Amino acid sequence: MCHPRSIACPACGYQAYYNPKPVAAAIPFDADGSIWLLRRGPGLGEGKWTFPGGFVDLGESAPDAVRREAVEEMEVELDLGELVGVYSRPEDRVVLVVYRATLRPGSVPVAGEEATEVRAFRRGELPWGELAFWSTECALRDAVSG
């Protein structure tokens, strides 16, 4: 599929460019090494599993967006670690940046405003057939193989 790079006003020449939007996310590990995922509420990927993440707002860094999204979706504070990877495809409208993270001591994940359920998974129990997005699977595979 060919996407236009930009649109231009024929009267004034102003040009607006179409660019993918940055999305930041984290794969939260607890002290036992389990990975915490959330089941998405209404919208894209509804009912499927993913990790906390969302669009990076103007004036916000990717790490700040991850921390905000973790509070909104799981009501937890995270300590971010190394970068797991950056995921994109020409046909998608986002570029996903994923970090490894650990739950801060005393942080217990619960379903926030955008999740219907949260759960800890051991590496061998990850719900591979029920993941919300192709990038969720790629990032999880990278995180558990590294």
Question: pTM of the full predicted structure?
Answer: 0.90
Say if residue 4's pLDDT is above 80: no
Q: In one letter, which amino acid is 80?
A: L
Non-local (6+) Cβ contacts of 39 within 8 A are 47, 48, 49, 111, 115, 116, 117, 118, 119
CATH of domain 25-145: 3.90.79.10
pLDDT digits (tens, 9 = 90+) for 94-125: 999 999 999 999 999 999 888 999 999 999 99
The residue ranges of every structural domain in the chain are: 25-145
pLDDT digits (tens, 9 = 90+) for 20-49: 999 999 999 999 999 999 999 998 899 999
pLDDT digits (tens, 9 = 90+) for 59-90: 999 999 999 999 999 999 999 999 999 999 99
Which candidate, 54, 58, 49, 44, places its Cα nearest to that of 24?
54
Q: Strand pairing of 35-40 and 115-121?
A: antiparallel
Non-local (6+) Cβ contacts of 114 within 8 A are 38, 40, 41, 43, 72, 73
